[in-house]
């Protein structure tokens, strides 16, 4: 009998469960979900859900990209603000 709580079959179809890779690689929420949806693509809900899983993975990946872009913009703004305080 399948263990749908601890080891769902759509995540155990390969040698590595996505949760183990996500934790080992310390991916965090968005990248973790990207890996999760790619890993289960076509396995949960069959072929009918394949595109949906890939679109979800893309959504989480894009969200992480936007987060990183915002982080890159902040340091320069903070440095500028710090110089204003000094002057």
User: Can you tell me the mean pLDDT for 59-67?
Assistant: 97
Query: Tokens standing for 31?
Result: 């990248």
Candidates 7, 16, 48; CA nearest to 35 is 16
Task: Please give the Cα distance from 61 to 31 (Å, whole number).
Answer: 6
Q: In percent, how much of the chain has pLDDT > 70? A: 85
Asked if residue 9 has pLDDT above 70, the reply is yes
Helices (H), ranges, 1-87 = 18-24, 28-40, 50-86
Tens-place pLDDT, residues 24-45: 999 999 999 999 999 999 889 8
Q: pLDDT at position 13, please? A: 77
- Answer with the residue of higher pLDDT: 10 or 25: 25
């Amino acid at each position: 009998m399948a263990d749908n709580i601890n080891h769902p079959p759509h995540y155990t179809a390969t040698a590595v469960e996505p949760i183990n890779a996500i934790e080992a690689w310390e991916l965090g929420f968005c990248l973790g979900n990207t890996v999760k949806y790619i890993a289960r693509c076509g396995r949960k809900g069959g072929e009918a859900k394949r595109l949906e899983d890939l679109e979800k993975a893309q959504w989480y990946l894009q969200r992480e990209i936007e987060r990183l872009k915002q982080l890159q913009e902040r340091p320069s703004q903070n440095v500028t603000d710090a110089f204003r305080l000094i002057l």
